[in-house]
Amino acid sequence: MKLDEALELAFPKLEVKRSTEFLSKEQKARVKKLAGSPVVSGIIYPYEATKKDPKTGEEVLVGTAYFETHRVRSMRETMMFVVSPEGEIVRAEVLAFYEPTDYMPNKRFYAQFKGQMLDDDLRVNRGIKTITGCTLSVNASTKAARRILAIHKVLGEPEPSPEEGDAKGSKE
């Protein structure tokens, strides 16, 4: 599936805007702490879908799509996660899977991500059931979901002011 097709599937007939976010060293560390694994890239491209509120006429955020390419075993997988404004996974889709197809979990596995939030239930053998023969794929997808939710959370947090964090030029 191509990126445009995935976005149309996730946000039919909605306006989608792509932005570019650069994670700071502190944000990367926070994502790693929240997700339990480091970010794949410090450059994030969120795709925000909005619609007009019929009462106020204001643009309202419907959801944000994130794309991540990560290693499964020796090859890569690209996934799209759609996250609600409340920080809940709305949709998880595999766009590219370069491992042998025998190692790819079925659609029922990916459906488990719907409704998941960044908590202890979003782990294999807790809120995510594993599939025999697809252990590495299951683990990679679950870690990706945790990273995306952590990134979504961190991007929504205000940046600390110099008084709260280290001032420029201070030594650690």
pLDDT in tens, 30-74: 999 999 999 989 999 999 999 988 888 888 999 999 999 998 989
Record the pTM.
0.87
pLDDT for position 172:
39
Q: 3-state SS string over 79-141? A: EEEEECCCCCEEEEEEEEECCCHHHCCCHHHHHCCCCCCCCCCCCECCCECCCCCCHHHHHHH
Q: With left for phi above 0 and alpha for psi between -120 and 50, is residue 98 left, alpha or beta? A: alpha
pLDDT in tens, 70-127: 989 899 999 999 999 999 999 999 999 999 888 899 899 999 999 999 999 999 999 8
pLDDT in tens, 131-156: 888 889 999 999 999 999 999 999 98
**25-35 and 135-156 helices, crossing angle to 10°:** 130
